[in-house]
């Protein structure tokens, strides 16, 4: 987990130009939460080792990254569907688009 989370965190902090410690801390929380959310959705069976989970989670790098960026950009606007003021308007994409392609692992009994 740590390697993937750190890679995504480093990429996003560079891309977003974040240098303030408070903002970096918030970004790290968003990356960790995105990782955990994808992992929960995958619903790994108990038979999966940590290495198996880590290898599988690598496939969801873009989903984790996009979800973390989406959530970071929503700070201060949580729950807001659109915003309009004198400078323009903003509408948010559906958060679930960040989860496209993430499916649970199914086991047969």
CA angle 20, 24, 29 (to 5 degrees): 155
Per-residue pLDDT band for 79 (boundaries 50, 70, 90) equals low
Residue 17 has pLDDT above 70, yes or no: yes
Residue from 24, 55, 17 nearest 39 by CA: 55
Helix (H) / strand (E) element for 40: namely helix 21-42
pLDDT attached to residue 32: 98
pLDDT band, very low/low/confident/very high, at 108 (cuts 50, 70, 90): confident
What's the rounded Cα separation, in Å, for the pair 70 and 6?
17
Nearest partner of 72 among 9, 4, 1, judged by Cα: 9
pLDDT tens digits, 19-76: 999 999 999 999 999 999 999 999 999 999 999 999 999 999 999 999 999 999 988 7
């Amino acid at each position: 987990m740590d390697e993937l989370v750190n890679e995504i965190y480093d990429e996003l902090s560079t891309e977003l130009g974040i240098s303030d410690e408070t903002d970096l801390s918030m970004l790290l929380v968003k990356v960790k939460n995105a990782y955990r959310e994808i992992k929960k959705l995958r619903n790994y069976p108990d038979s999966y080792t940590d290495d198996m989970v880590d290898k599988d989670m690598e496939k969801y790098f873009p989903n984790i990254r996009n979800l973390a960026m989406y959530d970071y950009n929503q700070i201060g606007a949580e729950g807001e569907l659109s915003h309009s003021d004198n400078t323009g308007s903003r509408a948010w994409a559906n958060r679930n688009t960040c989860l496209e392609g993430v499916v649970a692992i199914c086991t047969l009994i």
